[in-house]
Structure 1
Amino acid sequence: MNKQVKAFIFAIVVALGGFVFGLDAAVISGTVGFVTEQFGLSELQVGILVSSPAFGVLFALLAAGPLCNKIGRKKTLIIIAGMYWISAVTSALAPNYIGLVCARILGGLAFTSITVSAMYIGEIAPPKWRGKLVSVNQMNIVLGLTAAYFVNYLLVKATDTEAAWAVKLNMEQHIWRYMLGSEIVPALVWLVALFFVPESPRWLVYRGRIEEAKLIMHRITSDDEIGEQIAAMEESLHRGDEELSAMSQIKELCHKRMRIAVIVAIIISIAQQLSGINAILFYAPTVFEQLGGGTNTAFQQTVWVGLVSVVFTLAAILLVDKLGRRPMILFGLLWVMVSHLICAYGFKTATYTLSPEAVQELPAEVDSAALVPMVGKTFDSDIAFKDALIEVLGAEPARTHAAAIIAESASMNAGLILGGILSFIAAFHFSIGPLMWVLFSELFPTSLRGVAIPFFALVSSTISAAVQFMFPWQLANMGGTSIFLFYAIVGAAGCAAIWPFLPETKNLSIEEIQLQLEKKTL
């Protein structure tokens, strides 16, 4: 087998971690309603459950770098894959709410698979394939998200149609466990496959294990290039030992010549997460239930989210070096704003009326008699309607049956709102989603990335956790109009804030980018 093909295969195996991450991150979206009903959760408890992996990754980000340097990339990836698998098993078997949260936090500790996978691929992939293979890692994340939506939809459909296999597995009672358990096999496959990839030669050189590095290089590199590459690694690492101490990097980041880079990184870190992407991705069925189509329709619509994500992520990968970073990001933020304004308008013009005929169509477990005071009344917002439901049914029954009752009561342009949501998904994955990571790798010189990228990833992850935690409460207390209007304002503010500072980095070397940024120094 060609040596470069071997390196390609090793990189692809490691990139499977992106798929497992996407699957783990999105599969929880389908379980929200079922877990809420089984454990009687409040909005804040739901927020804690969904955001628990995001809080877990905050700690993991601090440990991943030192662990990679101490025990190696391969062993770190194996530990991460093991945590994914254990998290999937314990999530599916969780006996109670606390157990489920703890299992999901463990999965969050493994979310560093994104950065560690990218690190390994960058160090082992042939130069001409390096960019594409790192991009494959990003694409695998989106494919994992899409797979999660497909799995959730198929399980719900099988349960609703009483498919023989679903009845045999008692799917109706344990559907959320099967959703979470769908990650077990992919995580196990990735875990086993990692034992067959070699350690990163660069890490072996870093640890002074030159002969071991040469043996691996013989498997993936032409023999006449090994000596030169090993020498280059040693020179680079020696230079890094002098220049890349954590304190030196922090001092350098605070220098005025890095001011523009830091400003851009902070703005895009905040704007990316406050745009509402994880509110949509992690609560997709819950969001679509607000459109009045019912639970089954909501799960079907989540599949469109996954497909749109794949198409526009691929478009971003193909076009970023042609269109440039600056126009794609600025246009993307404006696109985000317009998409959310469409959604806000759709919810603003919606009304909710529970007719006598609609009451008869509700599931038998809904207390129809308690709904009599609401019959014939028209509510001009989802918040007013939900408050009335809580008043007549009580908080827990209202949360449990809200989707079914909204499906029979809502009068809105659901197609318009659905189009707005899918437009936002497209805008995000075409611009600020993947391009934030591209900018992080370009704005900062190699000597500062060890501190800069983890720090801004931490900023992004912290905001992501807050968004996931607060969204159920926001949906219950602010309503669709206010939520999407807020996200639209974030898009506009992000575009206005980054406009004066964002450089065009297309086709520029790291050194040329640094010179351009220094000319812009405030």
Structure 2
Amino acid sequence: MQDNIKLNKPYTILISLIVALGGFLLGFDSAVISGAIKGITVYFEMTDEMLGFAVGCVIFGAMAGNLLAGPMSDRFGRKKVLIFVALLFSVSATWSALATGYFEFIIARIIGGVGIGGAILIAPIYIAEIAPPKLRGSLVSFNQLNIVIGISVAYFSNYFLVQLENDSWRWMLGVEAIPALIYLISLFAVPRSPRWLVVRRNKEALAFETLTKIGGDDYANITLEEIKRSTSKKETKGKFSDIFKSKYATIMIIALGIAFFQQITGINAIFYYAPTIFEQAGGSTDSSFLQAIVVGLTNLVFTLVAIWLIDRLGRKPLLLIGTISMTIALLMATFAFKNATYHFNRETLSKVSNPEIKEALTELEGRTFDNQAELFSAVQLKLDDAAFLDFKRNEITNFIDINASLVLMAILLYVASFAISLGPVMWTLISEIFPSSIKGIAISVVGFFNSLISFSVTQVFPWELSNLGPTITFAIYGILSFCAVLFVYKFVIETKGKTLEEVEELLVKS
């Protein structure tokens, strides 16, 4: 019925872009820590476990944000929650840049994590509720586009700021306060969600006013009727227990499954530790930061491809293409590290910066190791625990002989594949499939679960690299990515071109 209506696309796009600025802050905040890792490790004298938590605590905060954001957005509105989120980003960026103690730094990062947890859920919900069906996939994907722009800008920012003295990590973290303040001010210009106004406040006149600006009187009348018809069939205020009802089983399987596979396949480990991975492949610090920039740009380009395809090709085909390609990419990385060798000779030993390690490892001169496990067994006998940790973190790259081009190709293919599939499509799907009555509660539960998996992956990744080695680490992610292919094929349904009310009817019936 809405196919022949002329939409006010510039207005709808402008609103969506403003709201999606939260995605930019989310992406920037997530990736900027990758450049600050060395600085904060030295300044706060971190162990592997402390570093893992310092990086992953943002996701710990995001879990709290996930739990709070949905119910708060149902009660106070999507717009007010997003304004509060922008404020949290501003505080976090400033405080983490000025922190002088480890626990102070952690608290500041967790505050930013709460903002991430709110932004990643509420921005897609708002855009999905305000967007016409034939534009919804592309407009919701603006949020993912802004996430990857934020990631790319963070990599560029880190590359230039790393040239500063020891406090470069403070500048890396602090510059986020500027876009956070811009976001905070811009949000006051957007209207409240028309669906929230009708379902939660029964303010049809205000909803009609916004819908008229989007598509004119006819569009507003048709959309209002669809919203009212949908809400008349059920309670307008869902409870937590409602998400466990059998009629929502299909929806919860799809949502929780996609949320699980989006993170368990390792995307945040790649983004957070991109320079570290490239250094593990034998790159210098400068070249690893440049390669991280290339990763960010690849993510950006292929997110644009996803936005172009998501309302043309559909959600499920993109998910299948992406997850299959991710599996191939992770197996390529596994193969590259599996075939790496480690040479101890005069040239490689001369590159070691730690005198204690250099002297102890001189006894290994002339030896070659065919895998990392064998290497670690030999080196551990020569060093104490502190020196061995230093070797695994910083010195191992001096000895590795690996096909670095294959590693770079694998990471780029993986990021490109994620960018056209699990990245944007997950958030589009979960903003579409939940009925209005349980949307806030359900999406908070799914977002919390997504963040919990992300936190686990990020927390464990430094330990995996140091103890299992990159070969086994990438092999594990490859197997999990293949499981994602099977899940998408079996469970995910297509929502392209359907109104939110039609999607609800389809899924609740099944």
Asked if the contact 1:342/1:420 (under 8 Å) is kept, the reply is: yes
User: Which residue in the other structure is 1:108 paired with?
Assistant: 113
1:38 Cα deviation after fit: 2.6
1:35 Cα deviation after fit: 1.7
Structure 1 Cα separation of the partners of residues 165 and 440 of structure 2: 48
Structure 1 portions without partners, runs of 5+:
160-170
1:487-516 C-alpha deviation (Å, 9 max, x unpaired): 111122232344333334444556766676
1:437 counterpart = 2:437: no
1:457 Cα deviation after fit: 2.2
Structure 1 Cα separation of the partners of residues 324 and 42 of structure 2: 38
Cα 1:95–1:384 shift into 2, 3 Å: farther
1:408 Cα deviation after fit: 2.5
Asked if the contact 1:202/1:233 (under 8 Å) is kept, the reply is: no
Structure 1 Cα separation of the partners of residues 215 and 433 of structure 2: 32
1:388 Cα deviation after fit: 4.8
Higher alpha-carbon deviation: 312-321 or 285-294: 312-321
User: Which residue in the other structure is 1:162 paired with?
Assistant: none
Structure 1 Cα separation of the partners of residues 260 and 484 of structure 2: 8
**Which of 342, 348, 352 in structure 2 is aligned with 1:352?**
342
1:213 counterpart = 2:226: no
Cα 1:482–1:508 shift into 2, 3 Å: same
Letter in 2 for 1:438: T
Q: Secondary structure at the match of 2:165?
A: helix
User: Which residue in the other structure is 1:34 paired with?
Assistant: 39
Asked if the contact 1:6/1:219 (under 8 Å) is kept, the reply is: no
Q: Secondary structure at the match of 1:478?
A: helix
Q: Secondary structure at the match of 2:342?
A: strand
Q: Secondary structure at the match of 1:173?
A: coil
**Which of 143, 148, 152 in structure 2 is aligned with 1:142?**
148
**Which of 462, 473, 477 in structure 2 is aligned with 1:487?**
477
Asked if the contact 1:249/1:451 (under 8 Å) is kept, the reply is: no
Letter in 1 for 2:106: V
Cα 1:279–1:101 shift into 2, 3 Å: same
Asked if the contact 1:348/1:381 (under 8 Å) is kept, the reply is: yes
1:221-254 C-alpha deviation (Å, 9 max, x unpaired): 68856984896598369637725422573253x2
User: Which residue in the other structure is 1:190 paired with?
Assistant: 183
**Which of 173, 183, 199 in structure 2 is aligned with 1:180?**
173
User: Which residue in the other structure is 2:454 paired with?
Assistant: 464
1:89 counterpart = 2:94: yes
1:153 counterpart = 2:159: yes
Cα RMSD after superposing both structures: 3.3
Q: Secondary structure at the match of 1:242?
A: coil
Asked if the contact 1:3/1:219 (under 8 Å) is kept, the reply is: no
Higher alpha-carbon deviation: 377-386 or 419-428: 377-386
Asked if the contact 2:227/2:501 (under 8 Å) is kept, the reply is: no
Letter in 2 for 1:186: P
1:389 Cα deviation after fit: 4.8
Structure 2 Cα separation of the partners of residues 462 and 148 of structure 1: 24
1:386 Cα deviation after fit: 4.5
Structure 2 Cα separation of the partners of residues 226 and 320 of structure 1: 23
Structure 1 residues 10-89: aligned runs within 5 Å: 10-89=15-94
User: Which residue in the other structure is 1:502 paired with?
Assistant: 492
Asked if the contact 1:270/1:459 (under 8 Å) is kept, the reply is: yes
Asked if the contact 2:341/2:368 (under 8 Å) is kept, the reply is: yes
1:141 Cα deviation after fit: 0.7
Letter in 2 for 1:377: R
Structure 2 Cα separation of the partners of residues 483 and 129 of structure 1: 39
User: Which residue in the other structure is 2:104 paired with?
Assistant: 99
Higher alpha-carbon deviation: 319-328 or 90-99: 319-328
User: Which residue in the other structure is 2:402 paired with?
Assistant: 412
* Count of aligned pairs: 503
User: Which residue in the other structure is 2:4 paired with?
Assistant: none
Identity of aligned residues (%): 39
**Which of 321, 327, 345 in structure 2 is aligned with 1:331?**
321
Structure 1 Cα separation of the partners of residues 408 and 358 of structure 2: 30
1:287 counterpart = 2:277: yes
Q: Secondary structure at the match of 2:18?
A: helix
Cα 1:207–1:421 shift into 2, 3 Å: closer
Structure 2 portions without partners, runs of 5+:
1-6
Cα 1:95–1:71 shift into 2, 3 Å: same
Letter in 2 for 1:132: S
1:94 Cα deviation after fit: 1.1
1:371 counterpart = 2:364: no
Cα 1:178–1:8 shift into 2, 3 Å: same
User: Which residue in the other structure is 2:232 paired with?
Assistant: 239
Higher alpha-carbon deviation: 56-65 or 488-497: 488-497
Structure 2 Cα separation of the partners of residues 222 and 283 of structure 1: 44
| TM, length-normalised to structure 1 | 0.86
Higher alpha-carbon deviation: 316-325 or 467-476: 316-325
1:23-76 C-alpha deviation (Å, 9 max, x unpaired): 001111112222222323222211111110111111111211232233333332
Structure 1 Cα separation of the partners of residues 80 and 502 of structure 2: 36
Asked if the contact 1:150/1:303 (under 8 Å) is kept, the reply is: yes
User: Which residue in the other structure is 1:167 paired with?
Assistant: none
